[in-house]
Chain A
Amino acid sequence: MLGTYFYHEIIRKTVVSFGTLFNQIYVKHNDANSDVESEIKVPLAYGPAQKFLARLEQQADLNRAVQINLPRMSFEMNSISYDPTRKVSVTQTFKAVDDNTRVKKVYMPVPYNLGFELNILTKLNDDALQILEQILPYFQPSFNVTVELIDSIGEKRDIPVVLDNISFQDDYEGDFSTRRALIYTLQFTAKTYLFGPIADSTEGIIRKVQVDYYTDTNQLSAKRQVRYTATPQARKDYDNDTGALLTEAVDTSETIISLNDTSGLSVGGRVIIDSEIMKITNLTSTSMTVKRGYDSTIAAEHANGTKLNVLSTADDSRIVVGDDFGFNESLDFFESGADFSPTRKVDL
């Protein structure tokens, strides 16, 4: 039932967005004259790691000369929970357009809170305070980052990162068998959104628009008099419905065109040759008279033997989203008092 594969990497993106907030923190040390002696960009990494990889990379030399380099910061995601306060209707959807400009239907995302922990390990209390003071003023108590959660539809969301809690551990008491450990821990919540699968929009194009005009605003007493209807009109052939071929080469201005068969054609109908649409104004058994370059197409030369197709209402009904199409329009005038029933789709 579930099982439609999709992976937007939203949690990963939220982790990266959270981490990048802290990748430009510096610690400075002064000499006795209060001149800066050294400036360290505090190393930051996502804490959890594959154990063998950590050892291979960070302890390539088994006899590494020092215990660890300090100061350091690490962060990790430590909780995932549904956020009911940001809930929206589950059936609500919105449309988005993907890179290929196809319409996508997207269900409203599900609000989730990701808990993060930022840990700061320093050798000196002063180092930790330098780091802390570069972070805390930005969280009041939240800081918003705008993240492109789903690249394919360009969905950007503001993700508030809320600073929930600060705690620290400074084990300086006791005997000298253990070293002082200075760890500051900051708890954050990132309010992110999880998206389900992105489906192609199931709705097609609007097949018919019908507007009835009344003689008065009182619909009960007034008579409906004019009806305007617009339907999509195909600009290409979908059903390959004739076998007619040109029996002569046609230049860009010729209007009487010879054919081997005119049986499927009718006066007033539209035909398409190559990509030029023509309107038939007269017919014989071997030729048709046409208006060239109809429906904003460009009159072009066509070779002898080129296939001709009829643009009919059958083609109109096959138009799909993304196709180029025009409109059939009609105006009807009425004298009766009948009304149109939207449910039965007929005049009563």
Chain B
Amino acid sequence: MALNPFFLQGSQSEQRLVQELINEQLRMYGVDVTYIPRKIVNKDTIFNEIESSKFDDNYTIEAYVNTYEGHSGAGDILTKFGMSLRDELTITISKERYDDFIASFLESESDDEIILSSRPREGDLVYFPLGQRLFEVKFVEHEDPFYQLGKNYVYQLKCELFEYEDEVIDTTIGEIDTQIKEEGYITTLQLIGIGQTATASALINSGYVREVFLNNDGNGYTSTPVIQFDDAPTGGSTATAVAITTSRGGVASIKEILITNAGSGYTVAPNINIYSGGGTGAAATCSIETSNKGVVSIAVDDGGSGYPTIPTVTIAQPSVGAVATATTGIGGTVASLTLVNAGVAYAQAPVVTIASPVGSGTTATATATIGVGGTVTSLTIVDAGSGYGSDPAVTIDNSDSIKDPTLAVRAVAKAEISSGNIVTAIRIVNPGIGYTEAPTVTISNPPLVSGSGVFQFNELITGSTSGTTARVKEWNSTTNTMKISIIDGYFVPGETVVGSASSATYAVGSYSSDDTYNKYTDNDEIETEADLILDFTESNPFGTY
């Protein structure tokens, strides 16, 4: 049986009319929603799951809200996983409008990211502006109403509120992107605004503690033990030191003893008494230097700022180096060398370097001879060179390695920093020997002298050393605190982070992987309470708590 040919079952022009009427009705009674297609970043082909996605496009389309009496679904419920908002929404969009204004654009996208473009897709997002909420398309109904005049004109999108994990939502529409500003796993990056170099000054004296020997590192320390030296004789000052403890295999012992003041006026090596701290067995002795001077204490004049990691402390050499000048003669050769300062404490003849001539010519060479007391007694020209138009500079090596260790040893010190990234103290590792005047103390610069720029919401930041990337959730330029999300590693204190869009650059002060913003998350609170009651003296296979 064929259909009656005298009755039309919907002509193309009728279908066209209906589609136009629907389009018009939607534009009159609908709401402008934003259709955000899901782009696939990585797919697990075994478990058939999209492991990573991003949402960085936006298409505005008019939609009719079917559930005009309110959201359907279970509403807001409390589950064992916290609040779950089960609101659902059904909207109707025009098939023609989708084809014209969304599908045609999606077709041009990469096939890897967009696996289907001809129709609305389950998994895509719809931003519903009335509630300012993100809905995920759960099901696309294409046959309701059912073939009016032989054709379907609309899609019904059955949506449910989006379950957010770590998807990038960067549609460039601020109203949409900021909806997930406080969602997801958010951690804190403390940046350093202004860095200032710390300064310190040294004091020298004789009769000081030259070296501390830790003869027994003890065990069982629960806090830092006290290091006490015997009092210095009248007129001197008593040495002081601090212990640095370490823990191996659950046993805490003394790692090293650092001098805070090497004292002065000692004529015999003082005894060292180690007590308190809950442990036992530690013992140390020391040697003293009575005739030469060394660095006995270093005072921090200005703690500086912006030190996320311990800076290097460099103390000037105790002994001066030899200095000489050269004179050119006839024919552009070096005619003579004159010793201006013979230097001190050389253990071996230093290398003499004569600057090369400007332009063509050969470089002159010379050797030094040292005498009693480690001074340079003479300089001998080995090769007079050629092509010198003026007197060349002469450099005589003064490095630590060629100096006599009984006469001149460079002092070594370590800095300590506070949680506020300020240098609080400088401990002496080796007071050195042979100083005649207080040496200059140089503390290395903080990683970035001054942060610059303003980070933008949702931009990608990258750590210079770790290569870690993250997205900016919020940047507070007053406290230099940044909330970040979608982090792929761990930011290292001291490295710089650069914003991809803003080019803002700051140094990292500290990074915490705890999410203290999510009101559901209690990891931090549980850990804090557990630290008070759990005994981790034996190693904990779950890592550090």
Contacts and interface: CB of A to CB of B under 8 A. Distances in A.
Given A16-B529, A29-B42, A64 B49 contact: no
A51 B77 CA distance: 10
Contacts of B530: 16-17, 19-20
Interface in A68-82: 68-72, 74, 76
Given A43-B521, A69-B183, A16 B80 contact: no
A15 to B, nearest CB: 9
Nearest to B490: A39
Given A70-B164, A70-B165, A38 B487 contact: yes
Nearest to A67: B161
Contacts of A63: 131-133
Given A40-B166, A59-B83, A145-B534, A45 B521 contact: yes
A126 B166 contact: no
Interface string A95-111: 00000000000000000
Contacts of B523: 23-24, 41, 43-44
B518 to A, nearest CB: 6
Contact of B165 (A16, A59, A71, A179): A71
A74 B83 contact: no
A32 B41 contact: yes
A23 B545 contact: yes
Given A43-B515, A74-B81, A20 B527 contact: yes
Contacts of B41: 31-32, 37
A13 B544 CA distance: 19
A127 B535 CA distance: 31
B540 to A, nearest CB: 9
Contact of A31 (B42, B85, B163, B537): B42
B514 A41 contact: yes
A58 interface: yes
B81 A72 contact: yes
A76 B52 contact: no
A162 interface: no
Contacts of B85: 59, 64, 66-68
Contacts of A67: 84-87, 160-164
A332 to B, nearest CB: 44
Interface string B494-538: 000000000000000000011100111111001101101111111
A327 interface: no
A119 B131 contact: no
A41 B138 contact: no
A30 B162 CA distance: 21
Contact of A58 (B52, B520, B533, B541): B520
Interface string B116-147: 00000010000000011110001100000000
Contacts of B164: 66-70
A92 interface: no
A121 B80 CA distance: 10
A16 B515 CA distance: 18
A168 interface: no
Contacts of B81: 47, 68, 72, 74, 119, 121
B542 interface: yes
A68 B489 contact: no
12 contacts: A17-B530, A19-B522, A64-B85, A66-B85, A67-B164, A68-B83, A71-B165, A124-B49, A126-B47, A126-B49, A147-B535, A149-B533
Given A38-B487, A49-B78, A69-B184, 4 more contacts: A29-B42, A29-B166, A45-B82, A68-B85
**4 nearest CB pairs, A to B:** A20-B530, A176-B139, A65-B179, A67-B161
